[in-house]
Every structure is written in structure tokens, then in C-alpha cells.
Chains A and B, each alone.
Chain A
Amino acid sequence: MGSIIGAMGCSSSVADRRSENVIRAAILIQKWYRFTMARLEMRRRYSLSIFQSIEYADEQDQLQLSNFFTFMLDHCTHPESVSQIFTSPSAPQVVDEDLCLKEFEKKIDVPDSYYGPRLSFPLTVEDANALLHAFRNEQLLHARYVLQLLSETRRVLKEMPNITHLSTSYSKEITVCGDLHGNLDDLLLIFYKNGLPSEQNRYVFNGDFVDRGKNSMEILIILFAFLLIYPNDLHLNRGNHEDYIMNLRYGFTKEVSKKYKDHWKQILCLLRDVFSWLPLATIIDSKVLILHGGISDTTDLDFLNALERNKLKSLMRPPKSVRNRQDQMKKRIPTTKPSKHIANQHVAGKTQHISSSGFTEPPGSNLPPDPALKEWKQILDILWSDPRSQNGCTPNKCRGGGCYFGPDVTAKLFERYNLKMLIRSHEFKPEGYEISHDGKVITIFSASNYYEEGSNRGAYIKLNPELTPRFVQYQVSKFTRRRNLRERVGTIESSALKSLREKIYAHRSELISAFAQYDINGTGRISVNDWAAAMESVLQLELPWRMLRSQLAQMNPDGEVDFMSCFYDLKMGQPIKEAQPALAETLCRYRKDLEIIFNIIDKDHSGLISLEEFSQTWRLFTSHLGIDIEDDSIDKLVLSIDYNKDGHIDFNEFLEAFHVVHRLEKKATS
């Protein structure tokens, strides 16, 4: 290698030789530089893989949790609180239809001290501008106006068909935006670059306005305000996150309850209804189909157009007929010891998901087709599915809901309805958009920095009358200076590894027993190959474990992994001495689920629940999951955290203790 520089060219002159040396040096530097950049790119890619795998695994957990709610209803300890939130379509409406603008005005006082925007209906462009201005300055809209806006929105949405037809002929272009997920800055940036919605500037927002980001409420308010002002020029499609059960896990419920301490319940209740009235799809010039997720081999646009869309308040609660079948399948899952059991359950979770294709009638049964089931399945498929390049239609294993559809499925649907293009969202894309199925399917994703600052760009589509799509990409940055690739990758990577370590900790005992199976002589060391196999068998995240090994576990000089080292630097946020390791691990793993459950039980939203409620729910939850934890260990733990002995515990504070801290990171930041 060293000879490249030293080697003499054939030319005799010194100058020639020099320039030859310079060229060789340039080649070397270029080669070396591209090498270092490639390694950086690899780190960026695997970090995104970690985020995505964990995100999809979480969606499966959410489905598990939905099963638990059903279970809870059947074994009710808190009948009314649970049923109130989790009843099916005909949920009791706190806010009924007659309670209109005037009523809210009478009932909810806006104090003089309120300095945010004041709305009067019907809304005008000035109102929308005032809202944008207020939200840029981080003000809140008063609950009265929120409720008025929501009830007006519901009134308008009710008038709309399930599938909206638009044409490009009367305005030049239509802009289509994908997932926003509560990132207000992205919406503001789109409006800044592309102009506010108006009769001349039409928009379609393709679902997933809420959850994850901090400003879901503000995004909804802005979108709904423009919808009321320009009902023919701004269109909204429902996404899989416009679903109140999803909102419990992914942050929107929490956001509303924090921002509106007095009226959060009313707002959420009304929103549940508003979401169910969102149209399902938009078709432009009879050629371009826009919907949130995708299609399946049974997608029937005529059927979708005819059903009563507001009946399905949440897709996370399948109709009863489906639930019964799920229960039957559930019984087949062995519920033995925690370690093996969870692994099995995970596998089960991957196959026993609420996919459409999973629920065909069993052979030999002559049951009449269930209309509720068909409606649910049709909507589930269009809100949850993802395109794949392989032909066919298979259950969406990663997400646990909807399906994967291939180019043949797209082609068939296009032929049947004479379509030219499908625009969908629903999937994170590093560049903000992706083209698949030979240009027929476009994914558009408008939330930049979705996983972490610098993780991805957002994009929107401009469609002209010829229906040729043009993509506009952008990225919001909170940094004034442009950070270099190395810094950006560093941020994304450490954040990805942090979530991964939390997962590892939460599966500690299963991992240890999986490692032990390879460690026949009990040396505490196994080969990299075995280590990688054990990690995958327990966590099932399909990650490049060999590559990640150096970040997760230590290796000794002869190339074997010291498997306990992946837990060395991980510990609980605040160690509670009464919590035995197995219990702590379980609490860590189900922290999110428990938070959701306790929030439901905690009717007045005080953050406190009684000791009795706590341990009853805990027992129900662990027995549902088949976790074998001694009863008195949780009782002891619960008693120990009732610091002032008043019979109530602050569950948020309690659960906060069970999140994993990486010791080295702490050191680095302190």
C-alpha cells in the first residue's frame, strides 16, 4: 500500500512525477474519506433500523394492551371507569349533538386575563392567522374555543362523504402532506414555503396529525380552522393515529390532559367523535387515490364509500365476533414460566395480530358473513397497510395490523377502478418520500426529525393537472449552525442505543437464560455468533447484532462475548430496594402499558390511585399476561411507596422509577 505514494511514474521529468504523486495522493485521500463516510452512513442506517424496529414492536404491544382492555371488561374490577372509556361504537357522549356553540359559550367562561386568541364563528382567515400567530408564540387556545371549534368541525365533517372527489381543473395544483405527528414546526414550515390554504392553494392532509410530537392539539386546531374556512379546499383523511386508544399510548391523551386541566375530558370525548367522522380517502380527477396506509387484495372502494364510517371509533377494538376468535387463539398460547412464556407470547404476537387475512372464517363453518367485521377489516386495511415489492397480500407482521400489499395487488385495484396513482403515508422515510410499485405508489411523510433531531427530512407533494407529482423536501432545525454529518449521526445513534438498552434491560432474565443455553461450561462467555442468535431470539428486532455488539457488550481478547456486560451499565432510574429484580424488570417492561391503565382507572386525573386499585389491577394484568410474580412482593412494594400512608400512591412517580438509565451516559452529561 505504502508503495502507491513512493512509486515512480514512467515519465522522466520531476514535474510530471510530482503531479503523478499528487494524483495518487488524491486517490488515496478520496478512498480513505469515502471509507469513513460509509461507516458513518452505516451507523446512521442501523440507528434508524433500531428506531423503526422498536416502534413496530411497540405497535404490537399496543394491540396486546387492547386485548387486555377487553379482558378487563370481562373481569371487571372497575366497571364504569373502564367501560366508559372503552365501550364500543355507541359510547355515551358527554358532549351531545345539541350542545352547540351557544351552550359552550354559556357554560365555559373565558376570563379577562386570557390573552390568547378569541374566536367567533363562523371563522374567518383573520381567526386562522391569529391562531397561527398565537401558536408560534406558544400560547394555548382557550378550552371554550377548542370545544366550539371541534363541534363545528364535527358538524362539517358529517356532511362529507367517506371518499372525497376533487379535480385539479379549477385550481392549478394540489398539495398533499403526510404524517405530521404533532410536529407543529413542520406544519408551519409547509405553510411558510407553500402558502396558507385558500381557494387557490388546496391541500390534502393524509392522516396522523396527532401523537408523538408535542403540539398535536395545535395542529388539529389549525387544520380544523382552515377546514371550516375552506371546506372545499382543504381535505383531511383519517390516519391510524386518529384513534382514541392509540392516543392513550402515543401521547396525545396526555398532551390534552396537561394543556386543558379542566376540560380535557370533554375535549377528548368530542375528539373521539370528530376522528370517527374524518373522511377515509380522497380521489383526484378519478385517477389519484389518496389514503393513509394502503390497500389489500379485498379493498373495495364502493363498499368503503357506503359504510357508516363513524361507527368505528377505534380500530384497536375489533367487533365482538373477531374478539371471540382472538380469545380462542389466545388460549392456545402456553402460559408457563415467565422466561419462556414471554418469548412465546412475542412469537404469538407476531402471528396473532389483528390482520385482515388472519380472520377468514374457519373451514367448514357456515356462519353468515358478519357485516361489522367486514367494515372493520376494510378500514383497518386502508389505515394500516404498507406496500412491499413482492407480489401478493400478506399479514403485516411488523406492525401487527393491516397487510403488506405487492405490485400485483396495486395493479388489480388500479384496473378495477381505472386509477393511475396511489398516494399514501403511514411509513417513516428518511427522505420524506419514496416511490414504489413502478411509480404507481408514493409514500409521503411530512414529519421531519421524526425519531430524533436530524433523523430524516419531511416532504410534501405538489400535483399539477397532468397529475405528475413534484416533491418538496425540508427539515426543521433547532440549531442555528448547520451541524455536520458526524454530529448528526452521533445524536441519532446515541438516542437509538438508549431505547435499545431499555429494551435489553426489560428482557434481562430471558436474555440471561438464552445466553446460558449457549454457555455450556458456565464460563460467562459465548461466541459472537451465539450472542447474536440469543439477542435475536429474545428481542426479535431483526437488527445487525454483530455490528452492534461493540456498543452493547464487551468482548475478551480471544473474541468471546462477556454476556453479562450488556447489563453492567444499566440500572433503574431510582432504585427501590423493595423491588426484587424480577419484579423490577417486569415493571420496566410494562411501564408504558401500566401508565395507560392507571390513567384510565384514575378518573379524576389526580395522578393518584388507591393501593387496592393498584394491586387489583396489577394482579389482573399479570394474570392476563401469564406472568408468575408472587402476590405479596407487589403488596410490599406498593406499601413501601405510599410514603405518607394515606392509602394512595402517585403512580406516575412510581413508574418513573422503573426506567433504565445508562450509567456511562449519565457520567458523560454530568
Chain B
Amino acid sequence: MAEQEKGRDGLIAEIEKKITEAFEVFDRESNKTVDGREIGCIIRSLGCFPNEAEVQELLAKIEEPDGFVHLENFLRVMTEVLLDRRFQPIPEDVILHAFEALDENKCGYITKEDLVKHLTEEGERFTQEEMEDMLVVALDPETNTLHYRDYRTKLVVDETKIFPFNV
């Protein structure tokens, strides 16, 4: 029992250190504070997949009136998130299904127009900037289409190769 407790404490301590590290990368003045707008990025860089609504919900709990977030508050809610394993990764096949759902005729690609329409007009809409960034990498310049199987593998491989830390 005591050992189990110690194991859990050790786990919590380790998780807290990871959170602190990620937080401090965004803490420009080293004063244990970050801009609330960066919280989504910090949560995601810790291996979590929240959607925007979930980020906003979490932020609402900890954001100060001046728009900043203190480390201690972030630590409190984020440790909980990681212990409860919330915002789990999206399995690869699920992402593939999602692209397929946008590919009406099941031809293996999505046209630029369709992609822009779906992602900027539906769901948690992309900003102009996000859309442009995605298109630069995703589109086949010859055909102006997105071959989602290739695109997904490219991103996934890239991601696990260079950045494999997980909580």
C-alpha cells in the first residue's frame, strides 16, 4: 500500500515536472506566467488532443482577468487531465475515416475547394492563416488536391520520428 502510494506520488511528481517544463518554454519572462492564448499549444504539446471547446473550458477555470495564466493553477488542472488520461490521441484509422467522410465519391483525394469549405465553414473553423498553412503542405501542386493517405502518413511519420515524447 505504502509503496503504491509512493509510486503514485512519484508519478505525480514526474508529471508535474513535464508540465512545468512545457509551460516554461512559453514563459517569456521566467515569472511563472504565460499568455492565456498559448495554453492550447502547451496542452497539445504535452501529448493531448483536446478540441478548441475543451481548451477554452479548461482555460476559463484558470485564466486571470488580465489574460494570463499562473503556473500553479495550470499545474493543478493539467496534472488532473494527464492522470485521468483525458484528451486521448486520435488513432490513425480514425483520422483516415474522417478524411474519407469528406471524400464524397471515395476517390482517395479531396479537392482544394471542398477541403477549404469543410474546414473553414464547419466544426471548429480554421482561421484563414491555419487554412493557408495547411494547404501549403497538404496540396499536390499539380492537381490542387489533397491525397489524404499520403498526407497523413507524412505527418505521422515526421511527428513520431522527431518528437516522440509522451506523457
Chain A interface residues toward B at CB < 8 A? 1-2, 4-5, 21-39, 41-43, 45-46, 49, 388-390, 482, 484-486, 493, 528-529, 532, 542, 544-547, 549-551
Contact = CB atoms under 8 A, between A and B. Distances in A.
Interface in B37-69: 40-45, 48-52
A2 B42 CA distance: 25
A1 B88 contact: yes
A31 B17 CA distance: 26
A38 B41 contact: yes
A26 B123 contact: yes
Interface stretch (B1-9, B76-84, B133-141): B133-141
A48 to B, nearest CB: 9
A26 B97 contact: no
Nearest to A6: B97
B94 interface: yes
A546 B17 contact: yes
A485 B133 contact: yes
B110 to A, nearest CB: 10
A23 B94 contact: no
Q: Which of A37, A482, A544 gathers the greatest number of chain B CB atoms within 10 Å?
A: A544
Contact of B119 (A26, A37, A542): A26
A25 B99 contact: yes
Contact of B51 (A27, A529, A549, A551): A27
Nearest to A481: B136
A49 B130 contact: no
9 contacts: A1-B88, A4-B94, A31-B50, A38-B43, A41-B41, A486-B158, A544-B21, A546-B18, A549-B165
A186 to B, nearest CB: 23
A389 B31 contact: yes
Interface string B17-47: 1100110111001110100000011111100
Nearest to B53: A27
A485 B33 CA distance: 26
B97 A2 contact: yes
Contacts of B118: 22, 25-26
Contact of B49 (A35, A46, A390): A35
Interface of B is mostly: helix
Contacts of B155: 36
Interface string B133-166: 1101100000000000000000100110011110
Contacts of B163: 39, 43, 550
Tell me the dominant secondary structure on chain A's binding face. helix
B102 interface: yes
Contacts of A532: 17
Given A34-B130, A35-B48, 4 more contacts: A26-B98, A33-B134, A484-B137, A493-B162
Nearest to A436: B29
B51 A25 contact: no
Nearest to A494: B162
A547 B21 contact: yes
Nearest to B138: A33
Contact of A29 (B48, B99, B133, B136): B99
Given A42-B25, A546-B18, A549-B165, A30 B44 contact: no
B93 interface: yes
Nearest to A21: B101
B107 interface: no
A24 B101 CA distance: 9
Nearest to B148: A29
A25 B101 contact: yes
B40 A29 contact: no
B122 interface: yes
A551 B50 CA distance: 26
